[in-house]
Amino acid sequence: MKANMGSFDRVVRVLIAAIIGYLYYVNYIPGAVGIVLLVLAVIFAITGFVGFCPLYRILGMNTCKKN
């Protein structure tokens, strides 16, 4: 797995995951929608920490500035 995400993308994904996690924790987004968003937040957090996004690879995107 070669990194294909830049630092800005990674930070944004981790922040979005944290916000969704907090909103779920305080029961602002309950029920099935909350669980779906929580799963999405986990995926965002993992891809943000790893620096690799499979969807970017499928779409041919690369925001990483390293060669």
Q: What is the pLDDT along the chain (67 residues), one digit of tens a residue?
A: 788 899 999 999 999 999 999 999 999 999 999 999 999 999 999 999 999 999 999 998 888 887 5
Q: What per-residue confidence (pLDDT) applies to 65? A: 82
Give DSSP secondary structure letters for 42-55: HHHHHHHHH---HH
Q: Which amino acid is at 19?
A: I
Distance CA 58, CA 32 (A): 28
Domain ranges of the chain: 7-59
| pTM for the full predicted model | 0.84
List of residues 6+ apart from 11 with CB closer than 8 A? 48
For residue 16, the model assigns a pLDDT of 96
Q: Where are the beta strands (DSSP E) in 1-67?
A: none
